[in-house]
Structure formats: C-alpha cells, structure tokens
Structure 1
Amino acid sequence: MSDDAQALEQLESLTAKQVEVLDLLVMHRTTKEIARELSIAPNTVDQRISAVRDKWGTANRKDTARRYSMLLEQCGKTTCGFSRVDEDGRSAEDRDQDLPVDPVFVLSDAATFGQQRYRYEGMDTRPKGLEAFDARFGRAGRVVAVLVLALIMALTLASSLAIADILGRLI
C-alpha cells in the first residue's frame, strides 16, 4: 500500500466529530476554546483527542496535531476547506490586489461584535462565571478582584473582632 493510500486510510478512520476537534486543535486552540466553539464539554474534547491518539499511537496532543497536519498535507487537503488549486486562473499576487489594505472597524460594529462571536447554531455560548470575568477584564482584572475581595474579608474580620471586643467589655 502506498504512503498516500495509508494517509488517506488514516484520515478516513476518523469520525466527523474527531475531525472537528482536530481541525481546531491544529489551529492551536485549547481544550476550553474547542469545547466552547463546538458547544461540547471539555472532557468530550479530551476524549475525542484521546481516541485519535489510541488509533494512531501518538504520544500526546502535539504529536497528534502534527500527524493530522502531515496527513492532510500528504492527501492534498486543508483544515479550512480551501482548495490548493488556483480555480480562477489568477496568480496569488493578482488575488491579493482584491483585498482591502486596511479593514475598517466602525464603532457601531463594536456593539454587535461580541454577540456574533458567541453564536453557534442559535445557542448562546458566551463564557459564564470566572471565564466571563477573564474574557472581559483579563488576568490583571482577576488579580485586582482577588485583592479587593481579600481586603473586604480583612475589614469584615477586623470589624467582627472589634464588635466582639466591645460586647466582651459590656458583659
């Protein structure tokens, strides 16, 4: 069996759901990012990657992603679905001339940008809880929030001790 036939056989042994996960893994997405984008649990993402690792005998996620990329390249496929063949007959330099030089971002776009980003087949997949806090304020925001909460707890403890001391003197 030729190398190309073996590569194609390995790709065809994958399920559609495994391919979805591997396509995002090749784009250097984390488990949480993949899970959020596909609206599945992070554990499910890890299980699908693990199943592929078992099929191919790869050591880790990085090796699995590397092998998947290699197999796609060997078979002439891409993860994004673009053909390698220049369909319209123009050179890459000619096609680049059609692209805008500077994309324009209008302030009115900012209001709908976040809403469109978290839509997946009609489901709202916005991060919740601490993930939402991190998405909005970043790690620095989380550090500040922890410090503020620690200060509030210290003040609460100090005031509780002061009240207990006053009550102890009265009794």
Structure 2
Amino acid sequence: MGRVVLSVFNEAEAKTLLDSLTPKQVEVLDLLVMHRTTKEIAYQLDIAPNTVDQRISAVREKWGTTNRKDTARKYAELLEACGKTTCGISPVDDPGDEEEATDQDLPVDPVFVLSDAGLMASHPDWLDERVSRPSGLEAFDAKFGRTGRLVAILVLAMIMAMTLASSLAIADALGRLI
C-alpha cells in the first residue's frame, strides 16, 4: 500500500524557517534535495566545493540538523508544508484535474516503472551535460570501492616487481654471455 507522509510543520513554521535562509543557501539546498554531490553543486553554481559545504553547514547550524541527509529531508518537508516543490513539478495533481494521464502507470505501491522515465527525461536539470560523470580513478572507485583500489594497487605492484625481476634476470644472462 502507498505510504502517506504528513508534514510535522505547519505552514507558518515552515515559512519562518525557509525565510531564515539566504538565496544562496536556497540554491544549494535545491540541488542537494536533487541528490547532487558537493562537486556537482559547485560545478553547476560555479563556486568552490568548500563554499557549498559552508552553506550547508550554516543551514545545519540554523536548523540543528545532524547531517546533509537530514538537512535535505527537512528542507523538502518545509517546502511541502508551504505547498512548494523543489523541481517545479507539482507533487500532487490538482483536485480539479479529472483527466487521467495516459502516459504514466499508477501502481498501488510506489514503484518506479518504465513510463516514469519519460517524465525524468523531460526535466531540463536532469539533462544538464555540464554535470561530469566520474572518470579514471573516480569511476574505478565508484565501481569497486576502496577495497578494489587496494587490490588493484597490489596487483600492479606485483606486476612491476615481476617485470623488474625478469629484467634483472635478462641483464644477468646477457652479462654472462659477454
């Protein structure tokens, strides 16, 4: 069955907490709620990653949240209590809209279905090509983690040791021929 989440904030409390934010903190929180990393937020806003962390820390101090995840969750709840959304897409259909959407499945349980991908692809922020994908060692870390990196370093070290040992053996054999 679907889960109904009720906001713990009334609209006046939510508006007061949201008004305590600076416009720059709001920019960062909007992207944080969209699950962007510090690097991605910094790149998109053209600021230093340290500045992103400082803005999030300032909000955490104001609101008394313990981490980024709690801060993002609280921000989303406050926006919901005020009737606002983070992506510009209404979270709930208007009650006056009696037309059913034919391009989206509406299952009983909230499950991602293939037709939902059409909605995601149409959002311009999700198609932002400036957000970099991890490459090189970052991609390796994303796929295998820290342990994978350690194993790769050990394997490369063994290959280098074997190459060095075989080079010395060849040099020794050539030295005996001369």
| Inter-CA distance 168–13: structure 2 relative to 1 (3 Å threshold) | farther
| Inter-CA distance 89–118: structure 2 relative to 1 (3 Å threshold) | closer
Which structure features the higher share of helix residues? 1
Q: What's the CA shift string for 1:96-153, capped at 9, x where partnerless?
A: x1348856xxxxxxxxxxxx95623xxx745454225557xx328x658546523431
Q: What's the CA shift string for 1:35-86, capped at 9, x where partnerless?
A: 4554544323211211111222322223322321221121111111223564
Is 1:80 the counterpart of 2:87 in the alignment? Answer: yes
Structure 1 stretches lacking a partner, 5+ long: 104-115
Structure 2 stretches lacking a partner, 5+ long: 1-8, 106-112, 116-125
Tell which has more relative contact order, 1 or 2 (C-alpha 8 A, sep 6+). 2
Aligned to 1:139: 144
Is 1:150 the counterpart of 2:160 in the alignment? Answer: no
5 Å-filtered alignment, 1:43-58, equals 43-58=50-65
Aligned to 1:94: 100
Q: What's the CA shift string for 1:8-31, capped at 9, x where partnerless?
A: 122122233322322233344443
Residue type of the partner of 2:26?
V
| Inter-CA distance 38–127: structure 2 relative to 1 (3 Å threshold) | farther
- The percentage of counterpart residues that share the same residue type is 68
Equivalent pairs, count: 151
TM-score (norm 2): 0.59
Aligned residues: CA RMSD:
4.1
Moved more, 146-155 or 159-168: 159-168
Give the distance between the partners of 1:133 and 1:164, measured in 2 at CA.
36
Q: Which runs of 4+ in 1 moved over 6 A?
A: 167-170
Is 1:23 the counterpart of 2:30 in the alignment? Answer: yes
Residue type of the partner of 2:100?
D
